[in-house]
Structures are given as structure tokens and as C-alpha cells.
Amino acid sequence: MELKPYSGKAKRGASGVGKTDAGTTAPGFVNQNRQKTVARTGFRSGSFAGQIIYKMRCGDCGAEYGANGCDIHARRCPGCQGGVAGETLREAAPGLFG
Ligand SMILES: [Zn+2]
């Protein structure tokens, strides 16, 4: 006989404390290393299952490269900040979004 419909695991909006994931994939986001999220390419990551590749641009040298969504918050420029090369950046096929 169970009278408890809920196991007591209530979501109260306390999640996310101390994390800075929210918003990193939104175009225009700039992380602590001045790396800017330009756009979502829609391509799947080749190194992280389930991740989508985002186009990033360095605020220092202007380099553009691909990054996994989960990496954006701490991304460093592969050109001038010693960051890893990251994902291959591919432009979306013409007409894909049109
Ligand atoms: Zn750079």
C-alpha cells in the first residue's frame, strides 16, 4: 500500500547553482576567454556523442572554429590562446535553413 505518489524529489529551481551552462549556446554569448558563440551549425560532434557543434569566434584574433556545446563556457582560442583545435567547422549546406 503506497500513499506516496511522489518520491519527494521536488524541483524547486535550486538546480544550476554554481553552474554557468545556461545561455552559453545562445548566439552572442561571450565566455571568460572572450570566445563568442556565433551560431549553432547543427552538425553533430565527432568526439562527443549527443553534442552539437557551434561556431565560435575569438574576440582577440578573430579566428573561427567549431566547439561542442558543452565546451563553450571554458573554450580557448586554438589560434592565440593555446586551446585545442576543436571540431571541424563546417558551414551549413545551402538551403538547409532556407
Ligand atoms: Zn584568438
Confidence band of 1 (pLDDT split at 50, 70, 90): low
CB 84 within 8 A of CB 63: no
With residue 58 as reference, give the H or E element that holds it.
Answer: strand 52-58
Percentage, residues of the chain above pLDDT 90: 57
**DSSP label at 30?**
B
Total structural domains within the chain: 1
Sheet order of strands, 52-58 included: 35-44, 52-58, 64-68
Q: Is 96 domain-assigned?
A: no
pLDDT value at 20 more than 60: no
Quote the ligand 1 centre to 58 CA distance (angstroms).
5
Quote the ligand 1 centre to 63 CA distance (angstroms).
5
pLDDT value at 75 more than 70: yes
The 10s digit of each residue's pLDDT in 59-69 is 999 999 999 99
Q: Which residues surround ligand 1, an ion (CB under 5 A)?
A: 58, 60-61, 63, 77, 79-80
pTM of the model: 0.70
- Look at residue 48 and give its three-state secondary structure: coil
Q: Is 3 domain-assigned?
A: no
Quote the ligand 1 centre to 95 CA distance (angstroms).
30
Q: Is 17 domain-assigned?
A: no
Q: Is 56 domain-assigned?
A: yes
For residue 18, what pLDDT is reported?
46
Q: Is 36 domain-assigned?
A: yes
Confidence band of 90 (pLDDT split at 50, 70, 90): confident
Q: Is 2 domain-assigned?
A: no
Q: Is 55 domain-assigned?
A: yes
Q: Is 80 domain-assigned?
A: yes
- Domain span at residue 77 reads 26-91
